[in-house]
Amino acid sequence: MNFAPLQNDTFLRACRRLATPYTPVWLMRQAGRYLPEYRATRARAGSFMGLATNVDYATEVTLQPIDRYALDAAILFSDILTVPDAMGLGLSFALGEGPRFATPVRDEAAVRALRMPDLEKLRYVFDAVTSIRKALAGRVPLIGFSGSPWTLACYMVEGAGSDDYRLVKTMMYSRPDLMHRILEINADSVAAYLNAQIDAGAQAVMIFDSWGGVLADGAFQEFSLAYTARVLRQLKREHGGDSIPRIVFTKGGGLWLGEMNGLDCEVLGLDWTVNLGRARAAVGGQKALQGNLDPNVLFAQPQQIVAQASKVLHSFGAPHTGAGHGPTHIFNLGHGISQHTPPEHVQVLVETVHEQSRSMRSPPSA
Amino acid sequence: MNFAPLQNDTFLRACRRLATPYTPVWLMRQAGRYLPEYRATRARAGSFMGLATNVDYATEVTLQPIDRYALDAAILFSDILTVPDAMGLGLSFALGEGPRFATPVRDEAAVRALRMPDLEKLRYVFDAVTSIRKALAGRVPLIGFSGSPWTLACYMVEGAGSDDYRLVKTMMYSRPDLMHRILEINADSVAAYLNAQIDAGAQAVMIFDSWGGVLADGAFQEFSLAYTARVLRQLKREHGGDSIPRIVFTKGGGLWLGEMNGLDCEVLGLDWTVNLGRARAAVGGQKALQGNLDPNVLFAQPQQIVAQASKVLHSFGAPHTGAGHGPTHIFNLGHGISQHTPPEHVQVLVETVHEQSRSMRSPPSA
């Protein structure tokens, strides 16, 4: 495949811990329900999975926020549960509810029957990656993604979202052998899935460990972190001569930043509970950091959005401006953007990050 | 009031960082739906508030787990939302749902109208404290409690539980002046409420900052921690010659342990994400630590419950055995016990904590 040359490399440079003229910004779930144009496409598609599995629709909604805002990266529009769906668990989205699996994995027989999915069943994702990459025409890089092995396991065992993770934790504590088996399969599946996204054109990949933070100390290392590491060990480092940065985001994982710093990845994503300055010190310059504005800030007025975004930029501290590697920051929210966000507030945020981070690199006194 | 002398002071000694022959244990929400005798009383009472507001029922259910297990402390049976209910917000519990307020505090007029409650409206709580203290007859000490100012504010603004805290955080970011006003009133109300519980017979008090962990770094310090500190500043230090230990538990607050160590309290409660050994080092012996088994461990089999409880005991490390103050641990769950817990598993847990912690104090080689 021959794609157009990249015009904005600030995101990829920041992933590689190289200086950039400003702090790049993108938003988790930036293609989503808060945008009226997304809701229009969604209505035409009929259902969420109708949207996610159609290459043209997926391309269209991925580009919508890029057309509207000066974002520095695009992220594939898809769902974190495509992999267990391809394993045959039967994913569906009831209106107004979260995802649900028709056949959750709750007993030994179900675990024994579990297999890595045929990647052909995920062809629609890889086709979407290539289509989006072409449609982007080099404007910004494209991020591919997957749920983490643990996060997929949560949904696979619970069968849906949960507020106490009782079923998955009961299996973990009472039958750790079964849980490890699920996680091995998940890890190898996620690695194959992300490698195929890279082959299809993804220029960076992100692992969403959305539910790692619900685990106890000790259990996190054994049942989440170890399998994220297993994914990372199998990922392609480069494609067509370009290195492919790898981002790991564990929501609620701030206490384990020391251990996560040992992961073989370039970027760690952080939620809003983490102080970026402390995190920067904790990773000792070995990882780029991505985050971490509370998405609820976007419900406040522009003046307050500016103040809070500025606070996040300054909590990270002085930008790296020299040659070679240094501490870098990729601005993002600490979690996905809310469907209730006023779209014009995102404009304020993106402009603020760009302007303020530029001025932090060339202070008036210079 | 003249109460019977205390027969088991391990909990209070551990709160005061004094050596004990074993690690004391109690469980958050230990009087609750997982107990068949609780469900029977609840059925007689007709409703949750019917149970909580009736002195005899509240006494009965508070003592149920004490009769069943060798727990080292009792905790008042009540709800964390009694204070805003007494402010006139109209608390109710729909069957199968969480708490709900009839008149949430969502605009400037509602904030301006907010007042500290008449403590007479909470007389049923103080009467229950005295009744429970009498019924305990000195078997174990009685803990009183309240929600933290921030946690109360979450419910007061949202009007119910929430998964994104959109309304309360929107007010916090867009009208911090209104949020501070609510928190001032809450802090002073909580302080008066806890002081009245102490007067009525509570031998320790605990502040449940159940939702502190949803705040961003910076916002936690400003909107939760500062008001917990405001409560603590107003609390009675002793009653009838006995010092009254104060416990602060912020669910999801592990990243702020350094700041919380500065609170004027004796004990910090920790959820299961925190490593007790690291926490012990972080507080430098200035606080007793309470926690932190994942309640989901109680769904596993006895052998695994023993192993996980042992892991928590050993993560805290060597017990303090000398004279004077030293690092102490109060065993608890990292959150309230689940209604689905098999009661016989709690027996296993309590016995394990007592036996293993005794043997940690007198190893076979000694």
pLDDT digits (tens, 9 = 90+) for A48-82: 889 999 999 999 999 999 999 999 999 999 999 99
Q: Using one digit for the tens of pLDDT, what is the confidence trace for B309-338?
A: 999 999 999 999 999 999 999 999 999 999
Domain membership flag for residue A269: yes
Closest to A225 (Cα-Cα) out of A253, A246, A195: A253
Q: How far apart are CA B209 and CA B145, in angstroms?
A: 11
B329 Cβ neighbours under 8 A, 6+ residues apart: B14, B23, B276, B288, B289, B290, B313, B316, B319
Question: Residue A156 in contact with residue A215, Cβ under 8 Å?
Answer: no
A260 Cβ neighbours under 8 A, 6+ residues apart: A225, A248, A250, A253, A268
Confidence (pLDDT) at A179: 98
Q: What is the CATH number of the domain that holds A114?
A: 3.20.20.210
Domain membership flag for residue B269: yes
pLDDT mean over B256-282: 97
Tell me whether residue B39 is one of the annotated catalytic residues: no
Q: Using one digit for the tens of pLDDT, what is the confidence trace for B237-251?
A: 999 999 999 999 999
Closest to A149 (Cα-Cα) out of A197, A187, A111, A106: A187
A274 touches chain B (CB under 8 A): yes
Confidence (pLDDT) at B163: 86
ipTM of this complex: 0.95
Q: How far apart are CA B198 and CA B208, in angstroms?
A: 16
B205 Cβ neighbours under 8 A, 6+ residues apart: B143, B144, B145, B146, B194, B197, B198, B235, B244, B245, B246, B247
Confidence (pLDDT) at B20: 98
pLDDT above 80 (res B291)? yes
Q: At what angle do helices B176-200 and B123-136 cross, to 10 degrees?
A: 40
Confidence (pLDDT) at A360: 96
Confidence (pLDDT) at A95: 72
Domain membership flag for residue A85: yes
pLDDT above 70 (res B363)? no
Pairwise CB contact (< 8 Å): B164 & A296: yes
Q: Using one digit for the tens of pLDDT, what is the confidence trace for B74-85?
A: 999 999 999 999
A217 touches chain B (CB under 8 A): yes
Domain membership flag for residue B4: no
Pairwise CB contact (< 8 Å): B173 & A219: no
Pairwise CB contact (< 8 Å): B170 & A300: yes
Confidence (pLDDT) at B364: 62
Taking all residues of chain B, what is their mean pLDDT, rounded to a whole number?
96
Question: Residue A80 in contact with residue A145, Cβ under 8 Å?
Answer: yes
B238 touches chain A (CB under 8 A): no
A165 touches chain B (CB under 8 A): yes
Tell me whether residue B38 is one of the annotated catalytic residues: no
Question: For testing the chain A interface, which of B163, B217, B337 should be mutated: the one with the most A CBs within 10 Å?
Answer: B217
The pair of three-digit structure tokens given for residue B43, joined into one six-digit string: 């059925």
Report, as ranges of residue numbers, the positions in chain A whose pLDDT lies below 70.
Answer: 1, 363-366
Domain membership flag for residue A351: no
pLDDT mean over B107-117: 97
pLDDT mean over B97-112: 94
Q: How many residue pairs from chains A and B have C-beta atoms closer than 8 A?
A: 103
Residues of the domain holding B200: 10-361
Q: Out of B255, B304, B334, whose CB is closest to A174?
A: B304
**Which residues on neighbouring strands pair with residue A145, listed in sequence order?**
A206
Domain membership flag for residue A216: yes
Domain membership flag for residue A241: yes
pLDDT above 90 (res B349)? yes
Token match 């088994």: residue? B293
B248 Cβ neighbours under 8 A, 6+ residues apart: B148, B206, B207, B209, B228, B232, B260, B263, B265, B267, B268, B269
Q: How far is CA B347 from the centre of its chain?
A: 21
Counting the structural domains of chain A, the total is 1
Q: What is the maximal distance between C-alpha atoms in chain B?
A: 69
Question: Residue A205 in contact with residue A194, Cβ under 8 Å?
Answer: yes
For the entire predicted model, the pTM comes to: 0.96
Q: Mark out the alpha helices in chain B (DSSP H runs).
A: 10-15, 36-45, 48-52, 55-68, 82-84, 108-113, 123-136, 149-158, 166-174, 176-200, 219, 226-234, 257-260, 276-283, 302-316, 343-361
Confidence (pLDDT) at B366: 46
pLDDT category at B93 given cuts 50, 70, 90 is: confident
Q: Which residue has the higher pLDDT, B182 or B47?
A: B182
Domain membership flag for residue B3: no
